Structure 1
């Protein structure tokens, strides 16, 4: 069967997506990756360079007579990023290539409401607007990451109460011509890992599991399109009555056992201190045999939830990000045993690849920045109003 022809927007999106994931490519392998002749690629790159989206930098040739100009995303393109993580809302300006240039953290209220969260968003957008004016830059995309987004109605989010329509109205007032996209935190972190972290294990379709302030998953497509990921709230599977209270209002959710707040309570470390330690907690916080045994039980429950998810929708690969990846293999085995115990047919290493990737929490708003870059790349760098017509 012959390949369906691509629109101009889709072809540009394929090129920008490859550059976003690779960090830069020489023309011959780039042309091969996006299935274009070098002549066709050259014509499109001419347009992308004229629009200030890509640049070519001279590098030592990879082999005698080989190319010397590396194609990469232009570092002068400015993106806005807003990310809610824990008790903070982080706002920043960054480059299309991933570097953050300005960041600020704003505290969320202890007991957030739609009104109080809306006020924090307004403050963040004011900060973002002031930065753009001081730097004399125009944002081309804003990415916004919100925990639990899409689980219920946009204004009835059980995790973070916020009215998306109200926030969009603020965006329209302060950034009238700048496209802005919202996403669930797990999608933002999956995008960050896939596009910004070296050595990410999978490029095709797979399940990404995020264990951080909450526990969730995202079905990742084999492209970086912003609509290619579907959120699955596996953290809210309930393991019987009488379990710990989850922030969703139920008792005994896997999130109530395996999230960072649950981990902090188990370790006897205040949650802010655990965030401050970042990845070092695994070497600085002593684990008694009793605590380690409970930790493994919680990892087993997390594995059960992942296995049950795969029973509903099979996958050939899973990437697991978060604090479990910091533990030694003998502890992580409990998670694999949980998958094996619930997955139909059991865990077959030949049929299901499982990889642990480093935590991405504590780096906000880098995940939202990666999502903003993905949004821009997905529409081929074209104006938002030109997307459907392209």
Structure 2
């Protein structure tokens, strides 16, 4: 017997509509009503409000079939969001729209050996640039999204990857952007949202595991965006494969990250990380790879697969998406990831019924991931003020 559905509050219903539009890029009314489980009359009433508030627009499009709908509902392109994305090299700051169009970006470099103080100064400089740019254009921001590598429940005060004091940065935002809702997240969560909302044929709609292989290796559990705990970071990069392995930035030896992160890949290819980033996505064809190096690459990808499989043993999931440099390799090399997953899972993928997909790397286009996160948080609030009391 099916459980009756819990009634949704107005905020939740609006959030369902806005997140669906964010993930689909736009929809005609009948499929939108079906997707968010509303009658067309109820949907019309809510769209009227969202349009009056400047959150959505409706453009006439040729009907998909004779007698079909002609109004394509999409997010309003005039909504302005700010994005700040902290990476190993710099802090990117930008202003953009709900669909990912960037109107302004700036990068403030980090010092070679960052400290809480120097990173605080970099944030102050970036926020001043943001304030000046928005003031000159009389732009009111609807949301600020900030992504920090390795941010977790235990690291709000001291960040383990790039030292920064979240409370201090929140204080600066309170001074400079008093009325704008601000949200912080772990970088992997932002990259997961970026792929979920900006990929046309995203392979999974239900709950799944997103794995990001970049400067570090991390994962995020993805679920229905309306739930509060829909996005949970997973530190799978620090599974130890051998105490005699290479030293990881977390202080341990032999972590999967120490074998498969971008710095580890650069070292294996005999170049610096900066050189590898300059070559970009072309490295698989631009850099000659000897058979010895290719074999080592596969061994490392097998370990990445093992780490993913171990994660699925703890919490089973039907879908896994891997984003980052492994997705640039030929299918024969990528097979090593699948073999690693199979070697870890009890009975392999068939038993777990897990399907694996690869997505292109999304690092290097910052602050796009932070912008997608800001759009997502605004949508999850139903576009309502952050502090507004829940209206049924």
TM-score (norm 2): 0.97
**Aligned position for 1:307:** 309
2:4 to 2, 5, 9: 2
**Aligned position for 1:174:** 176
1:319 to 313, 316, 321: 321
**Aligned position for 2:221:** 219
Aligned equivalents of 2:227, 2:148: Cα separation in 1: 18
Aligned equivalents of 2:228, 2:64: Cα separation in 1: 33
Shift of 1:91: 0.6
2:381 to 364, 379, 382: 379
1:330-349 alignment to 2 at 5 Å? 330-348=332-350
Name the SS of the counterpart of 1:359 in structure 2: coil
Aligned equivalents of 1:142, 1:285: Cα separation in 2: 39
**Aligned position for 1:15:** 17
* Per-residue deviation, residues 200-238 of structure 1 (Å, max 9, x unmatched): 100100000000111001111133656411111000011
**Aligned position for 1:293:** 295
Is contact 1:207–1:315 with CA below 8 Å preserved after alignment?
A: yes
Is contact 1:225–1:375 with CA below 8 Å preserved after alignment?
A: no
**Aligned position for 1:116:** 118
**Aligned position for 2:54:** 52
2:360 to 353, 358, 361: 358
Name the SS of the counterpart of 1:245 in structure 2: coil
Is contact 1:316–1:353 with CA below 8 Å preserved after alignment?
A: yes
Shift of 1:77: 0.2
Shift of 1:347: 2.3
1:33 to 32, 35, 47: 35
Is contact 2:27–2:74 with CA below 8 Å preserved after alignment?
A: yes
Aligned equivalents of 1:149, 1:249: Cα separation in 2: 17
Mean Cα deviation higher: 265-274 or 173-182: 265-274
**Gapped runs of 5+ residues in structure 1?**
none
Name the SS of the counterpart of 1:384 in structure 2: coil
Aligned equivalents of 2:15, 2:58: Cα separation in 1: 18
* Per-residue deviation, residues 248-296 of structure 1 (Å, max 9, x unmatched): 1111111111011111111112211211222111110110111101111
Name the SS of the counterpart of 1:28 in structure 2: helix
Is contact 1:242–1:251 with CA below 8 Å preserved after alignment?
A: yes
**Aligned position for 1:210:** 212
Aligned equivalents of 1:291, 1:349: Cα separation in 2: 32
TM-score (norm 1): 0.97
Aligned equivalents of 1:225, 1:360: Cα separation in 2: 25
Aligned equivalents of 1:239, 1:209: Cα separation in 2: 18
Instruction: Let me know the Cα RMSD of the aligned residues.
Output: 1.3
Pair 1:132–1:121, CA change in 2 (3 A): same
Aligned equivalents of 2:389, 2:301: Cα separation in 1: 43
Aligned residues: 390
Is contact 2:9–2:390 with CA below 8 Å preserved after alignment?
A: no
1:99 maps onto 2:107 in alignment? no
Pair 1:165–1:350, CA change in 2 (3 A): closer
Name the SS of the counterpart of 2:209 in structure 1: strand
